[in-house]
Amino acid sequence: MKRLLLLLTALASAAALSAETYTIDSVHSSVGFSLRHIVSKFSSNFTKVSGTVTFDAAAPEKSSVEATVEIASINTANEKRNAHVLSGDFFDVTKFPSANFKSKSWKKTGADTFDVTGDLTIKDVTKEVVLHATLLGSGPGMDGSMVTGWEATTKINKSDFGLAGPAMLSKALGDEVSLTIGVEAGYKPAAK
């Protein structure tokens, strides 16, 4: 009986450790994007990302992610362009200050790769997207926390989210947008 109790305790402890919820570190995370501009490619990023990643290495299908991007954190390397992109012509940041992603399913596709299907909401328009995610690593952070690093990519059409812009610019800007997401997230283990 004593062995059975020890075994059950060990299994319960392992189950509790198998899934951890990490808080996204906005200082070390960003969402980059690129799209065509006439005959070249233009890249930019959002610098304020928050949310959580719950990762279960033993059962990845039980994992989840929720993330919010502050639209006003866009950095196009040009203040005039930043203001235009944030205006009603594109993001309309005063009405729609954030974009959100919430996962619905995770599918393991390789040793450290996953297809994460979820809902992306921009300007109150929600579309299902698949993030092709790679676990870059996990381990102790500099402050004693446990950290995990992720990279994910996907493509969306900006017109699907009401981001086509003025007609004169829609010919100069491509519709397809490539997203590259870099996330570092951490949690503090409970003190023993």
CATH number of the structural domain spanning residue 137: 2.40.128.110
The yes-or-no verdict on residue 4 having pLDDT over 60 is no
Model's pTM, two decimal places? 0.86
Return the closest-CA partner of residue 42 out of 191, 178, 183.
Answer: 178
Alpha-carbon span 122 to 126, nearest angstrom = 7
pLDDT of 144: 83
pLDDT of 190: 60
What tens digit of pLDDT does each residue of 104-113 get? 999 999 999 9
Domain that includes residue 119, residue range: 22-187
pLDDT of 10: 36
The alpha-carbon radius of gyration of the chain (Å, integer) is 20
pLDDT of 13: 35
Asked whether residue 76 is assigned to any structural domain, the reply reads yes
Q: Residue holding tokens 């969402």?
A: 31
Count of structural domains within the chain: 1
Return the closest-CA partner of residue 171 out of 40, 38, 34.
Answer: 38
Amino acid at 107: K
Phi and psi at residue 168, in whole multiples of 5°? Answer: -65, -25
What percent of the chain shows pLDDT beyond 90?
76
Give the H or E element holding residue 8.
helix 2-18
